[in-house]
């Protein structure tokens, strides 16, 4: 059933996605658990009686997962934890100097949305929840769309347990975002919502922002590879296809100064597509959002990449470290063929939740700082107060805020 048909069946009329989300948010805000369960059923085709995943379901998830996968998730979690513990050392910038200071506090309650049922994305659980734990967030919750039988995919539950999530809830799409934003009888209201999602999730995050914090708005994945003739065309093609298989709207882009190399990569893409399980998706991404751009040299390629601001920028060139300082806009920078972006998605260490849609020009990958907030401290010494009050009063009167002026002038009179 396509989006328009589902919308009509649910609401009795055709609605724009923004209006669909607005109604879902309203109903969840007013009707709590019942609203979440209704939309789980109508939009996701899942019957959910208990919205919270039980301890028994968590235990059963381990039985349903191969030991090899559990071991891999634990390995990935260790790498992600180690990376973010290093990041944490530079994230607390507390200071106190002459009565002025700053203290850093973790947010109390984080809500993580992780999309996917057929492709359950346990890696995204680890990449979002572990930075929260390292940052010191007291309560970390996760919500997920559910399968038709009313369960959350086992791999996702195992990842949540390994990452230290406090509870998992069954609420997909906009209803999951609304539940975190306003709370229901079962799902707690959080301080900030994290994680990627599809169209309805993205719109919902925009609509609830202000009532709750959000990390960012994420779009389809992007990978830009800058390669010269020292690169292996087979590996470059594989890296482009690895991102293309995510979504028909993914953007796999190659920049190279070599016409010959571009042709070799194109031939490899065609050959490798024949063996891909998600070939149809990858083909759509390559044909509609992918491409190859011939550049004059590597510096020219980096100039274009900085303008584009890709989520992932891979330098498959001779001596890639020589170009690091020239890159200014990228979510993640992957140097050389031994550092493929696909490893970054799972086991390298940095969170794979990265800025998309050019937002790398002003934002960063998800990290511990996203779970922290700074609080200014003002504890002025008495010796400074007269001068500070005098100048504050002058500025306040210039702004027409005489109440402010009176508040400081009364302190001057009391000296």
3-state secondary structure of 54: coil
> How far lies 279's CA from each of 112, 244, 273, 275, 288, in Å?
30, 9, 6, 8, 14
* Token couple for 6: 């589902």
Catalytic residue status for 312: yes
Show the CA angle centred on residue 34, arms to residues 28 and 36, nearest 5°: 50
| Identified catalytic residue from 222, 245, 268, 312 | 312
Other beta carbons within 10 Å of 181? 24
H/E element holding 315?
Answer: strand 312-316
Please tell me the distance from the alpha carbon of residue 68 to that of residue 55, in angstroms, as a whole number. 22
Residues in the chain: 415
Backbone dihedral region of 336: left (phi > 0), alpha (psi from -120 to 50 degrees) or beta? Answer: left
Other beta carbons within 10 Å of 236? 24
3-state secondary structure of 301: helix
Backbone dihedral region of 150: left (phi > 0), alpha (psi from -120 to 50 degrees) or beta? Answer: left
Quick one: CA dihedral 251, 252, 258, 263, positive or negative? Answer: negative
Please tell me the distance from the alpha carbon of residue 77 to that of residue 122, in angstroms, as a whole number. 11
H/E element holding 168?
Answer: strand 167-170
Please tell me the distance from the alpha carbon of residue 39 to that of residue 55, in angstroms, as a whole number. 24
| Identified catalytic residue from 311, 337, 341, 352 | 311
Please tell me the distance from the alpha carbon of residue 24 to that of residue 173, in angstroms, as a whole number. 10
CB crowding 48-58: b at 16 or more within 10 Å, else e: beebbbeeebb
What number of CA atoms fall less than 13 Å from residue 156's CA on the CB side? 27
CB 273 within 8 A of CB 279: yes
Catalytic residue status for 311: yes
> Alpha helix locations (H) across 183-258?
199-208, 233-244
Please tell me the distance from the alpha carbon of residue 218 to that of residue 202, in angstroms, as a whole number. 7
* Token couple for 128: 């979002």
Please tell me the distance from the alpha carbon of residue 56 to that of residue 271, in angstroms, as a whole number. 46
Catalytic sites, residue numbers: 311-312
């Amino acid at each position: 059933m396509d989006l328009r048909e589902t919308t009509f069946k649910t609401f009795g009329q055709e609605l724009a996605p923004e209006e669909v989300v607005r109604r879902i948010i309203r109903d969840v805000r007013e009707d709590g658990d019942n609203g979440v369960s209704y939309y789980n059923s109508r939009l996701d085709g899942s019957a959910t009686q208990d919205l919270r995943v039980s301890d028994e379901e968590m235990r059963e998830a381990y039985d349903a997962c191969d030991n090899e996968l559990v071991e891999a998730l634990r390995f990935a979690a260790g790498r992600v934890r180690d990376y973010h513990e290093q990041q944490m050392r530079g994230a607390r910038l507390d200071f106190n100097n002459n009565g002025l200071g700053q203290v850093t506090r973790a947010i109390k309650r984080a809500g993580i949305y992780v999309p996917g049922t057929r492709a359950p994305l346990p890696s995204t659980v680890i990449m979002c929840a572990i930075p929260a734990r390292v940052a010191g967030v007291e309560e970390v919750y996760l919500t997920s769309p559910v399968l038709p039988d009313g369960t959350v995919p086992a791999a996702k539950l195992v990842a949540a347990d390994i990452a230290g999530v406090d509870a998992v809830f069954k609420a997909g799409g906009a209803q999951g975002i609304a539940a975190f934003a306003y709370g229901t009888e079962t799902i707690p209201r959080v301080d900030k919502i994290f994680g990627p999602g599809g169209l309805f999730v993205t719109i919902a995050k925009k609509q609830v922002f202000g009532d709750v914090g959000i990390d960012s708005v994420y779009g389809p994945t992007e990978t830009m590879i800058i390669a010269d003739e020292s690169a292996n065309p087979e590996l470059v093609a594989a890296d482009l296809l690895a991102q293309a298989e995510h979504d028909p709207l993914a953007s796999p882009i190659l920049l190279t100064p070599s016409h010959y190399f571009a042709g070799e990569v194109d031939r490899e893409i065609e050959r490798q597509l024949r063996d891909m399980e998600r070939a149809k998706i990858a083909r759509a991404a390559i044909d509609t959002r992918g491409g190859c751009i011939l550049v004059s040299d590597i510096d020219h390629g980096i100039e274009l990449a900085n303008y584009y601001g890709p989520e992932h920028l891979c330098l498959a060139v001779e001596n890639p470290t020589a170009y690091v300082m020239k890159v200014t806009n990228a979510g993640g920078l992957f140097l050389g063929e031994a550092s493929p972006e696909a490893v970054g998605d799972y086991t390298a260490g940095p969170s794979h939740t990265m800025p998309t849609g050019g937002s790398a020009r002003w934002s960063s990958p998800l990290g511990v700082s996203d779970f922290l907030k700074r609080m200014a401290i003002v504890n002025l010494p008495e010796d400074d107060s007269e001068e500070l009050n005098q100048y504050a009063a002058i500025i306040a009167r210039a702004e027409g805020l005489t109440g402010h002026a009176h508040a400081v002038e009364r302190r001057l009179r009391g000296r």
